[in-house]
Structure formats: C-alpha cells, structure tokens
Amino acid sequence: MSKMLLGWSIPIAPEGLFLRDRQHEISSQALRQKSTQNMTLSQARNPMATRRLLRCARSRTTRGKAARAWSTLPRSLCRVALTVALCGSAAIAQTASLKSSDPAVNTHHRAKVEASIKCPKIEGWSAQMKAFEAAATHKWDRATMGCAILYGTEAVEQLSAPSSALWAILTFRADKVETTLGVLAAHVEYFDVLDKRYSDPDLSVALSSELAVRWEQTRASGAEIIARIKPLLSSIPEARILRAAFATASTRRDTTSAQRIAALRSATVDLERAIADNPEALEGTGQRLLGQILLLPAKSGGDTQRGIALLEAAHQLNPNDLSIHRMLVRAYLANGENSKATAMLLAALEADQAMENPQDYVDDTKDLGELALQAGQPDISERLMERRAHMLADRPELLARGGLTSFGDELARAKPDALISRSIQNTWHQRPR
C-alpha cells in the first residue's frame, strides 16, 4: 500500500500546488512521492520472507453472504502499494517518455530494449509463484522485480478465472483469487518503481526507452488481470481498491490528460463503494487513496477536510505506514496546523521500520526529514535522517535504486534456481541494526 503518481501534467492542481496555495514553500525534491507499502506474500509458500512481513487483520465485509464468507479467509494481501500520489514539481513534470529528436535513434533504442529485456524461463505454477514471491518486493532492482511480476502473471494465467465471489468460496478457490489480487498489487508497485526512474535528472534516451517498454508491458498484463477479476468487483472491496489503484498508477505515463482524468474519476467511484462496504479493507488503503485524491483543491473536486479525516482513519488502521505520516504532515502544514504536523512527525519516529519495505523506508524518511525542517523541527529531521543513514549503511543498494544496465541480460544467463535462491536471501533478510 503505497503511493503512486497519478500523472505529472494532469490539469488539476497536484499536491505541490495544494501546498503552495496555502503559502508553504516546498522544494521540488520534497515534492517527490515515494512508495510506502510492500505487498505481503504467501505465508505458506515463503516462510523466510513472511517472518518480516506484517500480519494483517481479516476484513469484515457487510454486503452479501459471499462477501462475508470472503472476509473469513486467510489473507496475504495486507500491505499492497496502492496509493495515488498527486504531486510532481514543475521541473520534472511530464507524462511522456524522453525521446531523441532523431526518430532513428528512438527506434534503435527501443529495438535494443525489446530484444534485451529477458527473464529466465520458469515452468510450472509452483515454481513461478515461488519466484514471484521471492522478488516481487525488490523495489531497488527493477529488472529482478520485473521478472518476478512476469512469473506471477504467468502463474495467474494458469488459474481458472472466477465467475463470482460465491464461486470462489463454494469451489474452494478463494486462495487462487487471493493470488490473482496479489499479483495485480505487485503491478501497481512496479509502476511506482519505474516512475521514480523516469523522474531522475540524469534520465537518458536509452533508459527512457527501457522504462517505456517495461511500462507498456506492465500496463498490458495488469489490464488482463483486471479483466479476470471483473466478476469479483461487486462483492469484494479489495478487488475494487486494487482496480482503482491500477487505474491511477497505469495512467501516469504516456497517456492523455483526458485518460488520466477518466482514471481518477473511475477510481473515486470504486473507492467510495469499497469504503462503504468495508473501510478497513487492506488496512484502510481505500481510505488512504481516496483521502489523497480529496486533498486536491475544491475547484478540482477536492475536499480537504474529508481528505484529512480519511487519512487520519487510515493512520489509525496502519500506524506503521510512513506514507500516511508524510501525507498528513503536508496537509497539516498546508492548513497551518503545525502542532499536528509535529505530532505526526514524532509518531513517524515510533513506526516499526521492519514493517515497511526497505526502499520505501529510506525514501519516506528522507521526505519526512525535509518536511520536519519546513515545520521548524530540525531535531526531528536529524533523528529521521540518522535512521535513514543507518538503513543505508546496511543496504547500500537502496540508495543506488539500481536496475541491470544490460536490461536483464544477467537474469537471462542465470539459472532459475539460482535466481530464486538469491532473491530469497535478499528479501527482508538484512534488517537494520
């Protein structure tokens, strides 16, 4: 459950403009949204990784027998990166990929990327899911994470599509529905990973070509999963939340303003219904998503007070999610409520960093440190940055936010078993001291 960028040039005021409208000066660096929640994976299939993951409470839905039955099933969709980030500085505002003025150069780079992005072939549902679960949260390595999502998607394609939520319960296929939703959640996470690389000041045409191909592939495979879960949307709030998250995340790049606005509107409808059915679904992710959308100015359909109230409710359900801390601090500062902003910054210091994806943690503590300075709290800022430095000392790859420069050639040469073993060893295995 995390934050996603809806679109850099959407013609409605982004979060940064929302803050400036209230006379708060914010640096472009502080406006960058980070992704804050990792997707929990199957406890039965990956116990090594699961030891580090959050145990989530079961949802309690209120509409229909099938929905109530679903709420009693074991859950693995506790922390999915699903938030819509509505910000972006003017310096890096864009929705299209960086391209050369020479079409031949663009064609060359794209052809090279399409031929070079490779993943080791893995056969069999169990092996594919094992590979997916081993690396689906590796946000610091877009190539490895991209392969994990491919394996998860291939595994989902082997499952029979549900005709309804009741079908999932009566035929004992609820675990397969859950697997499908988990793979969709990973797609949403991956858009965030790619978008952050798009926003780098050193973005090259070659890198932009790679990101564009990966983005298109992820959007296409995610859309196919959305089609598979369509029968579940009326009964399962989690499915609606995921569709809303995917709609906003997938339209952040290479889409028109009309498409981004349409995605925002459809997401709002899904979120309103999901919250009405079960406000606690996915640890309040629906409330967080809708709350962030409502922080847009009133002239763009926003409702600041309700947006803050929704974020506060989401914080109560998931106090360890630093993305919610960050969004609330910004909103409080924008409203001139510095005492509330300070209290939320102090609460961030108490959050359990083991409950958050390591990449998200270092990104969010950086943002919160900058916000603490804006709030006139240099001591809190220093403490946050110290914790970030401590994490980076143990995990230097988080700072590099790397991808394989060979566009996956290393993975193509690796044996599947070696890839899985390496991924499991790295997943949540190195905790900060």
Integer Cα distance of 361 and 388 in angstroms: 7
Integer Cα distance of 157 and 82 in angstroms: 22
Query: How confident is the model over 310-348, as pLDDT tens digits?
Result: 999 999 999 999 999 999 999 999 999 999 999 999 999
Q: What is the pLDDT of residue 85?
A: 42
Q: What is the pLDDT of residue 363?
A: 92
Burial status of residue 17 (CB atoms within 10 A of its CB: 0-12, 13-18, 19 or more): middle
Q: What is the pLDDT of residue 301?
A: 66
Number of Cβ within a 10 Å radius of residue 2: 34
What is the value of pTM for the model shown? 0.73
Q: Identify the helix (H) or strand (E) that includes residue 246.
A: helix 237-250
Distance of CA 94 to the CA centre of its chain: 19
Question: Which residues of the chain carry a pLDDT beneath 50?
Answer: 1-94, 403-433
Integer Cα distance of 370 and 239 in angstroms: 35
3-state secondary structure 171-235: CCCHHHHHHHHHHHHHHHHHHHHHHHHHCCCCCCHHHHHHHHHHHHHHHHHHHHHHHHCHHHCCC
Q: Provide the CATH topology of domain 3-426.
A: 1.25.40
Q: What is the pLDDT of residue 29?
A: 36
- How many residues in the chain? 433
Place of tokens 């690796």: 414
